[in-house]
Chains A and B, each alone.
Chain A
Amino acid sequence: AQSVAQPEDQVNVAEGNPLTVKCTYSVSGNPYLFWYVQYPNRGLQFLLKYITGDNLVKGSYGFEAEFNKSQTSFHLKKPSALVSDSALYFCAVRDGRQLTFGSGTQLTVLP
């Protein structure tokens, strides 16, 4: 079965600084990887996906993610964090037709 791991429950970063939210994956075959964000009292919002092609994937709200096959990682990044980026972030992998999610990383951007 496919799986993803998010090693950090919590990430704190100062506003204006770059942010990274880590994700590693374990798959058989080609990975199809996703990032979602969950704001309080709202549904999961799709940020970006990697299917094939360029290792650097650009998504919504200025986020990007870097696919690294040798390290089996798919870290989420943003060059300059905003306070409004504070939310719960989930990495996911497609496993058949369903998504298998990581446990989530709470990102807090401090003003």
Chain B
Amino acid sequence: GAGVSQSPRYKVTKRGQDVALRCDPISGHVSLYWYRQALGQGPEFLTYFNYEAQQDKSGLPNDRFSAERPEGSISTLTIQRTEQRDSAMYRCASSFRENNEQFFGPGTRLTVL
């Protein structure tokens, strides 16, 4: 299939460890978005890119969270010194252009022990 893919699908880590979550958008999609979804809630915006440029990172909760998309395709969301409150589903989406509908990947379920 040619959808958005994310890896790993599940990640269990210990508090204090760093984690890197990967997103591979639909080929040719310019815009890429990261969201976080707590259980029983809707996704909440974290950050987005157009090509390799990070356009908005206002949703990143603190400076332990960072994201990059160095070649304008694959993106990595990194969480340093993880805390239990970081446990959530992390979803990536891509769109052809900024104003087009967003297509979501299956998500990465992060559990911090």
Q: Which residues on the B side are within 8 Å of A41 (C-beta)?
A: 106
**Which A residues touch B56, using CB under 8 A?**
96-98
User: Which residue of B is nearest A106, CB measured?
Assistant: B40
Q: How far is the CB of A7 from chain B (nearest CB, A)?
A: 14
- Contact indicator per residue, chain A 78-108, by CB within 8 Å of chain B (1) or not (0): 0000000000001010111111111110000
Given contacts A43-B4, A44-B91, contact A103 B103 (CB under 8 A): no
B42 touches A101 (CB 8 A): yes
B-facing residues in A42-58 (Cβ within 8 Å): 42-46, 49
Q: How close is A11's CB to chain B, nearest CB, in angstroms?
A: 16
The answer to whether B101 has its CB under 8 Å from any CB of chain A is yes
Residue among B31, B45, B91 with max Cβ neighbours from chain A (10 Å): B45
Assembled-state Cα–Cα distance A23/B38 (Å): 20
Pairwise interchain contact A43-B33, C-beta atoms closer than 8 A: no
Number of A interface residues at 8 Å Cβ cutoff, please give it. Answer: 22
| A74 proximal to B (CB < 8 A) | no
Which of B31, B41, B43, B44 is the most central at the interface, judged by chain A CB atoms within 10 Å of its CB? B43
CB closest chain-B residue, reference A94: B99
Kindly list chain A residues whose C-beta atoms are within 8 Å of the C-beta of B33: 97-99
Write out the residue numbers on chain B whose beta carbons fall within 8 Å of the beta carbon of A95: 45
Query: Which A residues lie at the B interface, using CB under 8 A?
Result: 34, 36, 41-46, 49, 90, 92, 94-104
**Which residue of chain A has its CB nearest to the CB of B43?**
A101
- Which residues of B have CB within 8 Å of A92? 42
State A43–B34 Cα separation when bound (angstroms).
Answer: 13
Query: 15 pairs across A/B with beta carbons < 8 Å?
Result: A34-B101, A43-B91, A43-B106, A44-B43, A46-B101, A49-B101, A90-B42, A97-B48, A98-B33, A98-B56, A99-B43, A101-B42, A103-B41, A104-B41, A104-B42
A46 contacts B102, CB within 8 Å?
Answer: yes
- Complex-state Cα separation, A46 to B3, whole angstroms: 12
Q: Is the CB of A45 within 8 A of B104?
A: yes
Asked if A103 and B104 sit within 8 Å, CB to CB, the answer is no
Within the complex, which residue of A36, A49, A98, A104 is in contact with B104, where a contact is CB–CB below 8 Å? Answer: A36
